[in-house]
Amino acid sequence: MTYAPQTPSESAYNFAYLDEQTKRMIRRALLKGIAIPGYQVPFASREMPMPYGWGTGGVQVTASIIGKDDCLKMIDQGSDDTTNAVSLRGFFKKTAGVATTFETADASIIQTRHRIPEKPLREDQVIVFQVPIPEPLRFLEPRETETRKMHGLEDYGLMHVKLYEDIAKNGHIATTYAYPVKVNGRYVMDPSPTPKFDNPKIDRMPALQLYGAGREQRVYAVPPYTDVKSLDFEDYPFEVQSFDKPCGLCSAEGVYLDEVILDDHGGRMFVCSDTNHCEERRAQGLTGPMAAAPTAAQLSDGNEPKPETRT
Amino acid sequence: MSLETRQAPAGSNAVLAAGFSDPVHDAQRCFRALMNAMAQPGKRQTYDASQLKPPVPLTPMGAALALTLFDYDTAIWLDPGLARSLDVLAFLRFHTSAPIVSTPVEASFAIVSDPAQMSALSNFNQGSADYPDRSTTVILLNQTFSTDEHVELSGPGLKEPESFSSTPVPNGFWRQVQANNAQYPRGVDLVFAGTDKIAALPRSTRISPKGA
């Protein structure tokens, strides 16, 4: 048996950091998760060389599925170049030596913290979500023994009461992220704290979705083209956030926008949360009303890192 | 257990067959093929297991799946053909350390080398309402995928209903699968292992018979 040295990765560790037994255990859990869409499969989450909350669940899922030929995209709130994304991308570059990319279309695996790229995903792509609290019923019922029973009996009345109370208090369903969904007409699932804006994207998405929660020791999955319905009422149908202005830098409409504070005199603008989408549009010459503003210069060019491309 | 007893048991003169030549990446490739098969029910995924020369009646693809999935945490059940072969037992014990159980209901994985004679799916662990993930995954060996359309599949993983056929399977098999999948979220998951192709039918797939 030969173990080829893994260059340029850290050869003191196994490929993608995890040992093979751990990978097998997570792989078996993932297969069950795929076979029972939306059901949270318990798994023996490992200590990772990063704190809980940093994406240990997503990292373990990615480490279990990734191969030498994969191309990895890592995003944090839609952005490729914020702290969490940069450090986790570095982790896989170091331990697996895989190609990484900023381009949604080039990636075979996309690990994400709380956003889904604006560009539609394909059948040959896998999206891995980092999940903090996988149990949608947890804040309604703190006991795991009870929530497990509730899932077993498909007893989701409490969730509808919660949404009803939202309406009674606020006049509309005020849940804006981690908006509960029903998967394949059976399990109520927390789509991780993505804004509800992204909920329509997970319904019949062509890509396989894998969810990993490290601290809570759960993985779950949604296979391609699975019906995922956001919970609502006939008279209060589910709706997503809408923005009255386009992206300040690339003028994109119908995308999720982040508010950026520009100065301490109340100056602000709204820009695409998906940085790759925004850069791509600007490269095509599409510019928004703020693109030329001196206050926004730091965001529209200058400090922007060069997108990495597949090698 | 001493090293001597790890060798093939008495009555067999075979040298223990080798496992994956590149355990990390071979297992990863095999898993990805299986993961895609499970995520897209009925769709054939390619994996080349020809490097493995396991003792008969275990097939190279069956051995690859065993090396990819089994370890000391997984109880496995073997059909009589496999369980009779001391070489197969030695191969699986040495490479996976998986405990081999004698009743199907205890198994997390089952390997069936002679699917035409296989026992009813209801004999395997169906999982519980609280823990449906604890059911058995049944791996059928020696499968040939044909164009005869036996059943139509729909549900998660399928953009449009697709037809599927795999042989050999016992009489009334598709009715059993239909009944199995009707108890969703409980029920077993099926893996069809051919020579260089695998397909899977998770319990979430809805099955309607076509023709015969």
Pairing of strands A268-272, A257-261: antiparallel
With beta carbons less than 8 A apart as the criterion, state whether B186 and B127 touch.
yes
CA of A225 vs chain B CAs: smallest distance (Å): 5
pLDDT mean over B153-159: 95
**A 96-155: CB under 8 A from B:** 123, 148-149, 151-153
Q: Answer yes or no: is B170 within a domain.
A: yes
pLDDT of residue A97: 93
Indicate if A284 and A192 belong to the same structural domain.
no
Q: Answer yes or no: is A245 within a domain.
A: no
pLDDT, one tens digit per residue, over A45-82 is 999 999 988 999 999 999 999 999 999 999 999 999 99
pLDDT, one tens digit per residue, over B108-146 is 999 999 999 999 999 999 999 999 999 999 999 999 998
Mutate to test the interface with B, among A17, A71, A218, A225 (most CBs of B within 10 A): A225
d(CA B59, CA B62): 5
CB–CB contact A152 B128 (8 Å): yes
Interchain contact A283–B (C-beta under 8 A)? no
Residue of chain A whose alpha carbon sits nearest to that of B189: A35
Indicate if A172 and A290 belong to the same structural domain.
no
pLDDT of residue B211: 57
pLDDT of residue B15: 83
pLDDT of residue A302: 43
pLDDT of residue A305: 45
Q: Answer yes or no: is B14 within a domain.
A: no
> Which residues of chain A have a pLDDT value below 50?
1-6, 302-307, 311
Indicate if A119 and A167 belong to the same structural domain.
yes
Contacts of A151 in chain B (CB under 8 A): 130
Mutate to test the interface with B, among A3, A18, A27 (most CBs of B within 10 A): A27
Indicate if A54 and A144 belong to the same structural domain.
yes
Alpha-helix runs per DSSP H in A4-132: 20-35, 56-65, 83-96
Q: How confident is the model at residue B13 (pLDDT cuts 50, 70, 90)?
A: low
CB–CB contact B204 A41 (8 Å): no
Q: What is the DSSP annotation of A123-172?
A: TT-EEEEE-S---TTTTT---HHHHHHHHHTT--HHHHHHHHHHHHHHSS
- Could you give the number of structural domains in chain B? 1
Pairing of strands B109-112, B144-145: unpaired
Indicate if A159 and A276 belong to the same structural domain.
no
The single residue of A33, A58, A78, A250 carrying the catalytic annotation is A250
Q: Answer yes or no: is A182 within a domain.
A: yes
With beta carbons less than 8 A apart as the criterion, state whether A151 and A158 touch.
no
Q: Answer yes or no: is A234 within a domain.
A: no
Q: Answer yes or no: is B8 within a domain.
A: no
pLDDT, one tens digit per residue, over A198-240 is 999 999 999 999 999 999 999 999 999 999 999 999 999 999 9
Q: Residue A124 is encoded by which pair of tokens?
A: 């040959």
Q: How confident is the model at residue B197 (pLDDT cuts 50, 70, 90)?
A: very high
Q: Answer yes or no: is A90 within a domain.
A: yes
Active site residue A272: yes
Interchain contact A35–B (C-beta under 8 A)? yes
Interchain contact A94–B (C-beta under 8 A)? no
Q: Residue A270 is encoded by which pair of tokens?
A: 């709204």
Indicate if A174 and A270 belong to the same structural domain.
no
Indicate if A198 and A261 belong to the same structural domain.
no
When CB atoms are compared, the residue of A4, A67, A225 closest to B28 is: A67
- The values of phi and psi at residue B176, to 5°, are -60, -45
Q: Answer yes or no: is B7 within a domain.
A: no
Q: Answer yes or no: is A125 within a domain.
A: yes
CATH of the domain at B186: 3.40.50.11310
Q: Residue A93 corresponds to which amino acid?
A: K
Element (H, E) at A188: strand A187-189
pLDDT of residue B8: 46
pLDDT of residue B146: 82
Active site residue A71: no
Respond yes or no on whether ipTM tops 0.85. Answer: yes
Question: Whole-prediction pTM value?
Answer: 0.92
Q: How confident is the model at residue B210 (pLDDT cuts 50, 70, 90)?
A: confident
The residue range of the domain holding B192 is: 19-209
Indicate if A225 and A263 belong to the same structural domain.
no
pLDDT of residue A290: 83
pLDDT of residue A6: 47
Report which of residues A296 and B201 the model is more confident about: B201
The residue range of the domain holding A283 is: 257-300
Residue of chain B whose alpha carbon sits nearest to that of A145: B130
Indicate if A201 and A281 belong to the same structural domain.
no
CA of A254 vs chain B CAs: smallest distance (Å): 25
CA of A167 vs chain B CAs: smallest distance (Å): 31
CB–CB contact A42 B189 (8 Å): no
CB–CB contact A2 B40 (8 Å): no
Q: Answer yes or no: is B120 within a domain.
A: yes
Indicate if A190 and A271 belong to the same structural domain.
no
Find the Cα–Cα–Cα–Cα dihedral B101, B91, B187, B210, rounded to 10°: -130
Indicate if A128 and A274 belong to the same structural domain.
no
Indicate if A134 and A221 belong to the same structural domain.
yes
- Could you give the number of structural domains in chain A? 2
Of A81, A107, A108, A128, the residue nearest A279 (C-alpha): A81
Q: Residue A192 is encoded by which pair of tokens?
A: 């991780």
Q: Which residue has 């903090």 as its token pair?
A: A132
pLDDT mean over B8-32: 83
